[in-house]
Amino acid sequence: MKRNSGKQEIEVIKNAFGENRKIIGFAPKEMTNISEDAYTSGDIFITEEGELITLEYQMKDFDEEELVKYVELAEELYEINAVHISIYILCPTSIKILTDECTIKSNANFSIKLACFNGNPHQEILNHIKQKVERNIKLSDEDINMLSLIPMISPQEYRHELRVECFRLLNKSRR
């Protein structure tokens, strides 16, 4: 299956987070071979300097529990690679930010930044999941849950089309 280049995500990283480093593309599997229970719903990229950037999508309120998931992801990626890890979290303006992306004491070298957007978060999530399926990446439980929720939380006039698309993605991901 042909792998997506990640150009759209790289543009999001540059525009939403002001990232100036040169991003080469998706990080190689050996750099992202994290445990299955580690939280990641996004994509991991590598910079020209060999540092890692992960673009995550946050669709529920950002609280201390959510922050800890991202800190643990950064620590696991750092443990494998010993390079700076940037966690960029994109969220809709409709969610509540209940904690800051503050500095956490850790042996890992990482940073966490949040950016909110006014766009259609459901379409963004759907596109993100679609790219995972196209790249033959196993969908997480959260991805599958989001596929089941997208039609329900979308405007009535789009629900039929979205249900069909979500079912197609679920079926394609199981092959």
pLDDT at 22 over 50: yes
Supply the CATH number for residue 13's domain.
3.40.1350
Tokens of 4: 């997506």
**Are the C-beta atoms of 45 and 6 separated by less than 8 Å?**
yes
**Are the C-beta atoms of 114 and 92 separated by less than 8 Å?**
no
- Look-up: residue for tokens 């443990």? 79
- The whole-number pLDDT of residue 72 equals 92
Domain of 96 in residue numbering reads as 1-119
pTM, to two decimals? 0.70
**Are the C-beta atoms of 86 and 99 separated by less than 8 Å?**
no
- The whole-number pLDDT of residue 2 equals 36
**What is the rounded average pLDDT of the residues 110-130?**
82
Q: How far apart are CA 79 and CA 57, in angstroms?
A: 23
Same structural domain, 166 and 155:
yes
Report DSSP state, residue 6: -
Q: How many domains does the chain have?
A: 2
